[in-house]
Amino acid sequence: MNVRLHGLVAATHTPFHTDASLAPEVVPLQAAHLAAHGVGTAFITGSTGESHSLTRAERLTIYQAWAEAGPAHRLRVVAHVGSNCLEDSKAFTAAAADHGFHAVAALAPSYFKPRSLDSLVDWCAAIAAAAPRLPFYYYDIPSMTNVRFDMAEFLTKAGACIPNLAGIKFTNDDLSAYSQCLEMDGRHFDIPWGIDEKLIDALGVGALGAVGSTYNFAAPLYQELIACFHRGDLKAARDLQRQSIALVDTLAAVGYFGAAKALMDWLGVPVGPARRPLDNPTPAQLASLRAQLEAFQWFGSSWPGAVATHQKVSPEPCLVG
């Protein structure tokens, strides 16, 4: 249970061909790209990975691809195993253990929802028990699941009955609750932050790790933000966070998921389109988007006009100074 999701953790895209069929052959390119930009951990088949748009067989195929590509590029791999079907979640968890992944995480079911915290804890306990030696994280993202419970109380109850509970992937903008979870039991639990646009706020209350989609393509920006924060240059850190917000807003204006995947294509990692019902930008929107992004200097050497000094990053950055 000593796995800690510290530093930047990239929530990776699931790669598709142009016809939206699975493209597992792209996973080694994703892994190489992350390693080249100083990201040491991949969080696969989560929200960014469009997990609920994948079949069971497709998710297992992506697990297999990352089981090979992760170690080849010295990346830790965390698999999201959540599903609306408990038996599927248990099967994904067992597969993650068989592949030697470092941890698993699970969303709450979002169609038939747990009506009480005890029901949620029971659900998580059943998933975690499918691989009792593998660290388990609850993935709290109420904006998507509409499942909302007190996470400090969750840690108390789940910690008493889930021996391999590692912590919470906290994609919830309640900073007070986040701070409370961080400090519980002498910081016993690992609570990686999950909202890229508010990373500086999480750093302010003691975050040590962060999981996010923009770390796929803008990790150097966040590494610099973290460095500025810890050396006390808050003005520079705030400016970098504003750049992060502007980047997200620019992508979201034409449909975040499809736009982010198009951006990865431009960076030499062809992860393809987003699957329906998500939208993809039109050709005109893509042309406009690329023109807007030409001035953004944090994408690395594969992007025209990139600032070379931003490429020198440590193999696995940490959020502590």
Active site residues: 139, 169
Distances (CA, A) of 282 to 242, 273, 286: 27, 11, 6
Measured in Å, how far apart are the chain's first and last C-alpha atoms?
24
For residues 2 and 257, the answer to whether their CB atoms sit within 8 Å is no
For residues 212 and 194, the answer to whether their CB atoms sit within 8 Å is yes
Q: What is the DSSP letter of 278?
A: S
SS3 label, residue 139: strand
> Using alpha carbons only, what angle is made at residue 178 by residues 50 and 250, rounded to the nearest 5 degrees?
45
- Backbone φ and ψ for 203, nearest 5 degrees, come out as -60, -35
